[in-house]
Structure 1
Amino acid sequence: MFGVMRLVLVLLVLQTIAYVALSLYSRAVRRSKLRARWREKGRTGDEEAFVVRGLKAYDSSFRRKLILGVFIVPWVAIAALIYVVNFM
């Protein structure tokens, strides 16, 4: 029983690290794309306000929510593996 608890704890820690890393990377990529779009269109005004508005829109986007799959996919895979091994 303690082996399973340790496995679950290690998996949750690894998933959290992966989620934070993916979130930071994805946000940095989005920020650089927003800055590139600003420069490409040759806009005038406050570039930082444009980037902040774009990141705020990104925070509520579906793409951002897909990163939560880091927590869901491994557990579904483990459950499917357990089902296949024990019942098929």
Structure 2
Amino acid sequence: MTVLPMHLRGATRGWFLSWLGQEHPALIRRYRQIYGRGAYVSPEYKTWLKDRVDPLVSRYGLGARVAEHRRPVAAPPRPAAESADPTLF
């Protein structure tokens, strides 16, 4: 499991903050503090998020098998060559 804060690059930032202001106006000030004028959260917020999530990742075993999903999957066996007399089964 990987936890990453949102990246608000380009037009995404304006669209998201506009939507947030309309739908959740109580949160807009905090998001402006977290992101400042950039597309990325502050280093302090990144650290806060990691410190908050890491115990949950450990508790529920979500980080124990990081490389398992990257293990190559064996290719399925190739079908036998077609015979001259095709059959239904």
Q: Which has the higher helix share?
A: 1
Larger radius of gyration: 2
TM-score, scaled to structure 1: 0.30
